[in-house]
Amino acid sequence: MPDLMMIDRVSLAFGGIAALSEVSVAVAEGRVTAIIGPNGAGKTSLFNVISGFYRARAGAVTFAGKDILALPGYVRSKLGIARTFQNVALFDGMSVLENIKLGAHAQLGANVFSAGIYLFWEQREEHDLTRRIERDVLAFLDLTDVSDRPIGGLPYGLQKRVELARALVMRPRLLMLDEPFAGMNTPEKVRMANTIRRCVTEWGTTVLLIDHDMEMVMGLSDHVVVLNFGRLIAAGEPDAVRRHSGVIDAYLGAA
């Protein structure tokens, strides 16, 4: 498989403190790549460099042949990079459906005038989007029954699925998941893992994920990358990483 995204010797510092030191990761297309490591290892920082929240001090990130670090964050998402957040970043004031619709923002064409008039074209666009979400996303993630409910008050596991739905509605080439299993019970975790697997097998989505749950990560991933104190200490297939002595010292041994 060719690499969809190449993270090449990325370094990031806050003040004088190095958060990432020359981290390189190859994200293979159509595979699940996982980043693991203890708290503070720089996993989410790496995600934030890719999303454009942090500016890398050095290094490059190439997505589908384009250097994306020079692009504004919202343009990166238009290239087909979607993500979820560690602490679910949904919009409480909106319903489940409205939240999911936000994921399709860049694919829609409404401008201020056409939106204000809201006849013919815009009505059709909203209608089509609603149908598409109902058909492809709500059913896939089993959210049909809650689509009109406001986000506030929904159980946490369900909110995680809504956030995944919002990321999937744009049919991303790369799906970045920041701790998709956090705060879930075992059946919810298994269900989430199955959903992620189906994204890969049925839609050909490439997945890059962060999580602490070793069992889930090892079972789900094709490729595992281990960070510790902002440095890459191991990378390879799950079984190889599991046996790597540095990893056992830094992370697994501590558990």
Q: Which residues bind other proteins (CB under 8 A)?
A: 51-53, 72-74, 77-78, 82-83, 85, 89-95, 98, 101-106, 108, 110-112, 115-118, 122, 125-126, 148, 150, 152, 166, 170
**Residues 205-229 as b or e (16 or more Cβ within 10 Å = b):** bbbbbbbbbbebbbebbebbbbbbe
CA distance 159 to 151: 7
CB of 83 to other proteins, least distance (A): 6
Q: Minimum distance from CB of 193 to other proteins (Å)?
A: 23
C-beta of 14 vs 53, nearer to other proteins:
53
Beta bridge partners of 28: 3
89 vs 92: CA distance, rounded Å:
9
User: Shortest Cβ distance from residue 190 to other proteins (Å)?
Assistant: 27
Q: Is 91 or 240 the residue whose CB approaches other proteins more closely? A: 91
**110 vs 248, beta carbon nearer other proteins:** 110
Six-digit token pair at 195? 């959903």
Q: To the nearest whole angstrom, how small is the minimum distance from the Cβ of residue 82 to other proteins?
A: 7
Tokens 């999937």 sit on residue: 168
Listed in sequence order, the DSSP H helices in the chain are 43-51, 73-78, 96-102, 112-117, 121-132, 156-168, 186-203, 214-220, 238-243, 245-247
The number of beta carbons lying within 10 Å of the beta carbon of residue 99 is 22
Residue 110 or 182 with smaller CB distance to other proteins: 110
Minimum CB separation of residue 56 from other proteins in Å reads 17
Minimum CB distance to other proteins, residue 185 (Å)? 25
Nearer to other proteins, 91 or 194 (CB): 91
Contact 1, 28 (CB under 8 A): yes
